[in-house]
Amino acid sequence: MPQALSTTPRYVPRSSSNALKDIVEDHYEELLRVYDEKFRATYGPLHPRIKDLLEAFIRCGDPHFGFLRLRCCNADCGDKTERIVPFSCKARGLCPSCGQKRALLWAERMVEEVLPDVPYAAPVYTIPKMLRRAFLFDRSLYGDLCRSAYAATRKFFEAHFPTLEKAVPAMVVAPQSFGSLANHHPHCHSLVSLGIFTRDGVFHPAPEDIDFGPLEDLFREEVFKTLLKKEKITEERIELLRSWRHSGFRVFSERRIAQGERQALESLLQYMERAPVSLQRLSYLDNGEVLYRGNFHPGFGRDYQLVSGLEFLAMLVPHITLRYECRIFCYGAISTTIRRQLGWIKKEETPQAPKDVVLVDEEDSQFAKVRRKNWARLISKVWLEDPSLCPSCGKEMKVISALTSPHQDDVIERILKSRGAWDPPWKRQRRARGPPKEIEKQLELVPAESEFAPQDDDEFEFNQDAPAEWWND
């Protein structure tokens, strides 16, 4: 019989409020009102669905907007433990909690079911600042950027294996729109096999000391070809970029993962699918300013962002993933088509049933049960305790009801009041925020000075004496 271990950390439901929620609650209505006037030119258009996602994020994890009731039904359990589990917003690119759960689930599936056990490299593909603005107004370019990265990588490996025909690497690419300071920074994180697969499924490893240097030029030309076809760049601008000593294109490929290191592989995949904002690095100050720390940014000359709450929320708009927007791409040997050709995916025939008979697939039904329990399994993966198990007897608790708002608000209120947890956000008094102060003196933050510190992006773009790493951050 499974028992809750007293030596493991106890599961505590996440707080229904955090700094990011406070920022959204305080400023999202103003953002919707002034966005086109103040921020559209800087952060791109505001999609109509953003309003729904922001409102769903405010309700995420808050039991006042609905929850599941779990109760221990074991007759031998004296405590009869009952637990409530609030609903999640499942917003992509906004909610850190839902984003982390999605990253855990996706990384686990990729390692266990999709990625073959071979050595991998983790190239990061970046583009110059001059080309990044187009991504604000055309999000489909992220998919084109990923296809350009794969096309360049495939050509790179084909040059190393000229005798193998129709051989492809296994590659997964995740485009990201943000830098470590939540700034707009379109680039691609990827995971690619250090070798190629022939159409019979045989893996041909590349040399351990393979040099990815030529991949940068291949990637640059593929991006030029794609953007030129979509009329996002001109021939004159292409020739200008080719003439620069630091073109702004870079492929960073020093990270390697050896065969068999599945845990390291899973950790890297989780990083690729992470949310744009980390709550550990976010501070909402009493004067209404937002302090967000990250890596040192040469263009900014500092390792933090210090902006108003309204502008910080506007900065997140380009990073919120919309419905049907794909942000994970699998190419080559791990594409669905080739995996099916190699027999890595077995297509099972579904028996024909009479029209008046409902056919229930036992395997699909079992999969649905596992999928519904993923939330508990992922929480136990982090906390080492399954929240669906009774802490007293170790038996699995049963869902006895699901309460939703606004249809059952009266029942939700009665239950929460009986538990001493009734504190609705619409009745909480928002803390008063004073006028902005001299932030550098208050926080003792002094921007780093540099002889190359640019005054604006245009001047920085054409500064050919700037260090190479500036062109990629």
Crossing angle (nearest 10°) for helices 374-383 and 362-372: 40
Reading the block at residue 157, the tokens are 């490996």
Question: What is the distance between the alpha carbons of residues 353 and 456, in angstroms, rounded to a whole number?
Answer: 67
Query: Residue 114: helix, strand or coil by DSSP?
Result: helix
Contact 185, 295 (CB under 8 A): no
Q: State the alpha helices, DSSP H only, in 179-301.
A: 213-229, 235-243, 262-272
Name the 3-class secondary structure at 290.
strand
Q: Answer for the pair 177, 185: CB distance below 8 angstroms, yes or no.
A: yes
Looking up tokens 């927007």, which residue turns up? Answer: 325
What is the rounded distance in angstroms from the CA atom of residue 85 to the CA atom of residue 387? 9
Domains of the chain, by residue range, sit at: 114-344+444-460
Using N-to-C axis directions, what is the helix angle for 262-272 and 96-109, rounded to 10°?
Answer: 140
Q: Which amino acid is at 340?
A: R
Contacts of 93 (CB under 8 A, 6+ apart): 99, 177, 275, 276, 319, 320, 321, 327
Among 96, 2, 64, 17, residue whose Cα is nearest residue 388: 2
Q: What single-letter amino acid sits at 122?
A: A
Question: Over its length of 473 residues, how does the chain's per-residue pLDDT go in tens digits?
Answer: 344 444 434 555 667 788 999 999 999 999 999 999 999 999 999 999 999 999 999 999 889 998 888 888 888 887 777 888 888 888 888 899 888 888 988 999 999 999 999 999 999 999 999 999 999 999 999 999 999 999 999 999 999 999 998 899 999 999 999 999 999 999 999 999 999 999 899 999 999 889 999 999 999 999 999 999 999 999 999 999 999 888 889 999 999 999 999 999 999 999 999 999 999 999 999 999 999 999 999 888 999 999 999 999 999 999 999 888 888 999 999 999 889 888 888 665 444 544 444 343 444 444 445 545 555 555 555 544 566 778 778 788 888 888 888 888 999 999 999 988 888 887 777 666 555 554 444 444 444 433 333 333 333 333 334 444 433 44
Helix, strand, coil: what percent of the chain each, to 5? 40, 15, 45
